[in-house]
Structure 1
Amino acid sequence: MSSKNRNFMSDLASSVEQATEPVDRSTRRGGGVLGGRSNRLAEIASGAAVDNPQEFVDPARCRIWERHNRDYTALNYDRCRDLIDSILAQGKQEVPAIVRRVSDDRHYDYEVICGARRHWSVLWLRRNNHPEIRYLIEVRTLTDEQAFRISDLENRAREDLTDLERARDYLKALGLYYNGRQKDMAKRINQSEAWLSRYLDLARLPPELVEAFPDPYELKISHIGALKPILKADDMRAAVLVEARRISEQRDGGVVGGPTNAPEMIRRLVIAAERVARSGTPAKAQTAPKRSGIGSGTICDDAGAPLLRVDGKDRRALTLTLFHKGGGDRAAAEAALRDLLDRYWPKPS
């Protein structure tokens, strides 16, 4: 188990673990088995302890919560291979999934709040010569908003959930549980508004643009710095969407040579947007820089990762937007800045 997951499980289980220090039995109410049970029930009733039963069940009796933050249909053997290997090595699933009971469907007993990937893996094993493997669950009583926060907390500790899946989950939760109030949601999940905004921006990208990427799940919040500016102006947005559709149609038609990853795709979209910018007024065309074959306005490195964007403020000034999380490195950004200084602010002779 990774250190992230160990830390998460430690936090999650801290409220239900019993004290490990020796207990002074003379202070316990009652005696024997019945007395101990009475004391435990009293602790649970008072809130001093939490009783969340765990058990191994048939995964076929568990359905995935319709608001689960993972795209269950996108799971496959490659995405679950490490977990499958771990379960096989241990002979069982070690970290329980968090579920709640259901009573509205005779085909299911539980609803999976956290643990869709574990559910898929156990099902796969049972269908592939390991019927003895069962699904370990921990039963909770949760509202939908509580279920969302627990699911988010668990998956923040995992690296296999993509930014796009998390972003879409946040956008749904914003309307479902927080009445569109981003500040309230950020407070409830204990994150900054700026951090949350980047995920929401990713989830709000046009669907046709997202689907045009070779693998939409490669999209990250670090790419928002390059994509958001080229979607603001109507003419640039239209050009970007036209280019996205063209790339998608060429791929569907078997045309080779198109973008094969997210940075290459973003580079093509930036070029399409800047082509529109260059066709604007002469003043704008004069203030826009060029580098490495990339169109004016946004400067990218040789791999297509955006470094910075230059906008003409007036005849005496430029406005720079630095994409410090756009995928490029510092050396390339420094080189781009030096080029700009040499072009717009030449050294005295």
Structure 2
Amino acid sequence: MSGKNRAFADGLTAAISGVTGRQGQSRPNRSIINDRTNRLAEVASGKVVTRTHEFIDPARCKMWEGHNRDYAALSYENCRELIESIRAQGRQEVPAIVRRLTNNPDFDFEVICGARRHWSVSWLNANNYRDIKFLVEPREMEDEEAFRIADLENRAREDLTDYERAKDYLLGLDRYYHGRQKTMADRLNVSEAWLSRYLDLARLPEAVTRAFVSPHDIRLKHVMQIKPLIKDSASREVVYEAAERIAALRSKDQNYLVEPAAVARELENAVATELGHLRRGSVRSPKRGAVAITRNTDGKEIVKIDAKSPKRLQVTFMLAELRSREEMEEAVKLLTDRYWPVQE
């Protein structure tokens, strides 16, 4: 580009930005053509990746069968913040990742990542915001790559429950990695131990998960409490019976043991009460660390036990929850039944 053309381009840029160039002011040594050439070179070298985004009708999309979100569990309540954000902006800001479909008269795309965005835009369309479209980023990828991309995008999201992620991993283990847990952990760049905890959650039988208000309430820490209880047949049957009892009582009182931590403790207590006399070693030598005893009627923590050593227990009674002699006697009975069960 000649000096005159360069001066004209620089002057035009300054006029547009509202900056008046001064006579004799030094100008940057650049050219429009060189800028474009450098940009194209960066793209060609792979340093810069360009993506195509499209605004489409959400009704022309379906969820990919390997998607890790429980789409049926989405509602206005758990998508409220996203809906309000899109409504305030007048559009969706972050694109969903999709794949194009061919020879499908009903749908043009399948959603790999972005179920909540799809649900939220669909809700807005159905509630007088037809002008808001679904922003997508079409990509070409195989199923295993789609699985990894979906996992990577959603791994840090707090709105994806441990249970949803666990079920997704169990499905992916068989579908993409032929049951090889180490291979799957390597491909996802996670440890086998980390992956194993999620698989344990996904494998919890329905006879256990029914004790919780929803399987989505179960966290990894609860699995660590429950898994040892269902290893052998005797304690497993006790857990199943306790879970059935909890579910039955909650059907009569919806506020009964609604906190997942209280449910896990109740299952532990059931095994300790029913089978403590069969496990003299674990009764006489409790694990070090704090455990809690909860009241059967409402799941409230009433006794805290800290096993300082195999011969020493530190017991704390929660007086705020023990307002009468009867309640204190109940707490003492639960404590003695747990550590000094009646011999049969």
Structure 1 residues 269, 25: closer, same or farther in 2, change over 3 A? same
- What residue is the counterpart of 1:85 in the other structure? 84
Structure 2 letter corresponding to 1:342: R
Residue of structure 2 equivalent to 1:183: 182
**2:275 maps to which of 274, 277, 280:** 277
Q: What pairs with 1:334-349 in structure 2 (closer than 5 Å)?
A: 336-338=306-308, 340-342=310-312
Distance 1:28 1:74, change over 3 A: closer
Q: Distance in 2 between matches of 1:285 and 1:197?
A: 26
User: Residue deviations 1:7-58, cap 9 Å, x none?
Assistant: xxxxxxxxxxxxxxx78845987xxxxxx9xx68x956x7666453111000
Quote how far apart the aligned CAs of 1:286 are.
5.5
Q: How does 1:1-349 map to 2 (within 5 A)?
A: 25=33, 50-252=49-251, 254-255=252-253, 258-280=256-278, 283-284=280-281, 287=284, 289=286, 300-301=291-292, 336-338=306-308, 340-342=310-312
Q: Deviations over 1:280-334 (max 9, x none)?
A: 26x4476255xxxxxx999622569xxxxxxxxxxxxxxxxxxxxxxx9xxx99x
Contact 2:288 2:308 (C-alpha < 8 Å) held by counterparts: no
> Is the 1:72–1:116 Cα contact (8 Å) retained in structure 2?
yes
User: Where in structure 2 are there 5+ consecutive unaligned residues?
Assistant: 1-29, 296-300, 315-344
TM-score normalised by length of structure 2: 0.73
Distance in 2 (CA, whole Å) between partners of 1:337 and 1:285 is 12
Over the matched positions of the two proteins, sequence identity in percent amounts to 46
Say if 2:265 and 2:293, in contact at 8 Å, map to a contact too.
no
**Secondary structure of 2:51 counterpart:** coil
> Taking structure 1 as the reference length, what is the TM-score of the superposition?
0.72
Alpha-carbon distance, 1:276 to partner:
3.2
Matching residue's letter, 1:271: N
2:317 is aligned to none
What amino acid sits opposite 1:191 in the alignment? Answer: V
Partner Cα separation in structure 2 for residue 61 and residue 96 of structure 1: 15
Whole-Å separation in 2 of the counterparts to 1:90 and 1:303: 47
Looking at structure 2, the residues matched to 131 and 68 of structure 1 have their Cα atoms a distance apart, in angstroms, of: 26
Structure of higher CA gyration radius: 2
Aligned residues: 279
Q: Which amino acid aligns with 1:267?
A: R
CA pair 197-23 structure 1, distance change in 2 beyond 3 A: farther
Report the alpha carbon displacement of residue 239 of structure 1 after superposing the two structures with TM: 1.0
Q: Superposition RMSD on alpha carbons, in Å? A: 3.1
The C-alpha deviation readout for 1:187-226, integer Å capped at 9, x for no partner, is 1111111111111111111123113301321111111220
Once residues 255 and 175 of structure 2 are traced to their aligned partners in structure 1, the CA distance between those partners, rounded to angstroms, is 42
Q: Deviations over 1:240-295 (max 9, x none)?
A: 0111122223333x2466311101111221122223322426x4476255xxxxxx
- Structure 1 CA distance for aligned equivalents of residues 81 and 108 of structure 2: 28
Question: 2:289 touches 2:306 (CA, 8 Å); kept in 1?
Answer: no
Give the match's secondary structure for 2:137: strand
Gaps of 5+ in 1: 1-21, 30-35, 290-295, 305-327, 345-349
